[in-house]
Amino acid sequence: MQNGRSYRSYFVRSKGRHGVHSPFVFQLADTCLTAKVDKNFKTERKKWFRQLTHDRHLFSIVDLGAGSKKLTQQRSVSKLLKSSSSRGVYGDVLYQLARFYRPETVLELGTSLGVGTIHLKKGHPSAHIITVEGCSETQRRALQSLDHWNLDGVTTICAPFDEFLQLPASIRYDLVFIDGNHDGKATLYYLESLLKQVHNETLFIFDDIRWSDDMWQAWQQIVSDERFHVTIDLGRMGLVWQRTQQTKEHFTLRPKIWKTKWF
- Interface residues toward ligand SAM, by CB under 6 A: 63-65, 68, 84-86, 108, 110, 112, 115-116, 133-135, 138, 160-161, 179-181
What gap in Å lies between CA 73 and CA 166, rounded to an integer? Answer: 27
Closest separation between CB of residue 63 and ligand SAM, Å?
Answer: 6
Closest separation between CB of residue 159 and ligand SAM, Å?
Answer: 7
Q: Of 25 and 205, which has the nearer Cβ to ligand SAM?
A: 205
Closest separation between CB of residue 244 and ligand SAM, Å?
Answer: 28
Q: Of 85 and 202, which has the nearer Cβ to ligand SAM?
A: 85
What gap in Å lies between CA 178 and CA 49, rounded to an integer? Answer: 23
The burial class, CB within 10 Å (0-12 / 13-18 / 19+), for 208 is: buried
The burial class, CB within 10 Å (0-12 / 13-18 / 19+), for 69 is: exposed
What gap in Å lies between CA 94 and CA 134, rounded to an integer? Answer: 22
Q: Of 161 and 228, which has the nearer Cβ to ligand SAM?
A: 161
Contact 118, 149 (CB under 8 A): yes
Q: What would the DSSP string read from start to end of 4-58?
A: HHHHHHHHHH-B-STT---HHHHHIIIIITTPPPPHHHHHHHHHHHHHHHT---E
The burial class, CB within 10 Å (0-12 / 13-18 / 19+), for 49 is: middle
Q: Which residue is nearest to ligand SAM (CB)?
A: 116
The burial class, CB within 10 Å (0-12 / 13-18 / 19+), for 203 is: buried
Return the closest-CA partner of residue 205 out of 28, 18, 27: 28
Q: Of 208 and 233, which has the nearer Cβ to ligand SAM?
A: 208
Closest separation between CB of residue 119 and ligand SAM, Å?
Answer: 7
Closest separation between CB of residue 112 and ligand SAM, Å?
Answer: 4
Closest separation between CB of residue 108 and ligand SAM, Å?
Answer: 6
Closest separation between CB of residue 226 and ligand SAM, Å?
Answer: 28
Q: Of 25 and 179, which has the nearer Cβ to ligand SAM?
A: 179
Q: Of 73 and 126, which has the nearer Cβ to ligand SAM?
A: 73
Q: Of 20 and 95, which has the nearer Cβ to ligand SAM?
A: 95
What gap in Å lies between CA 187 and CA 134, rounded to an integer? Answer: 15
